[in-house]
Amino acid sequence: MKPSLQAQILPLSIPEKLQLIEEIWESLELNPERIPVTQAQQQELERRLAAYETVEDRGESWDIVKQRILKNDV
């Protein structure tokens, strides 16, 4: 980090720093394709996707769950 940026950040309050973190994080979402992913991370993502796609019981829809909650049948 450039010393000038660090000098600007250090005096911020904790809430201001958290807000800055949130804004930086949201800025990353604007171009997700530019976020570097290692080969190991890509392999793990592919493994998880394959595992998800093979799961037969994916749970129930929100409508069904909501009905069960409202009927107190949980």
SS (H, E, C) the chain: CCHHHHHHHCCCCHHHHHHHHHHHHHHHCCCHHHCCCCHHHHHHHHHHHHHHHHCCCCCCCHHHHHHHHHCCCC
> Can you give the residue ranges of every domain in the chain?
3-55
pLDDT of residue 72: 86
- 74 — pLDDT class (breaks 50, 70, 90): low
Q: What is the pLDDT of residues 12-39, one digit of tens each?
A: 999 999 999 999 999 999 998 999 999 9
- HSE-CB at 36 with a 13 A cutoff on CA atoms is 1
What pTM does this model have?
0.50
Q: Give the whole-number percent of the chain exceeding pLDDT 70.
A: 96
pLDDT of residue 40: 98
Structure tokens at 9: 């950040």
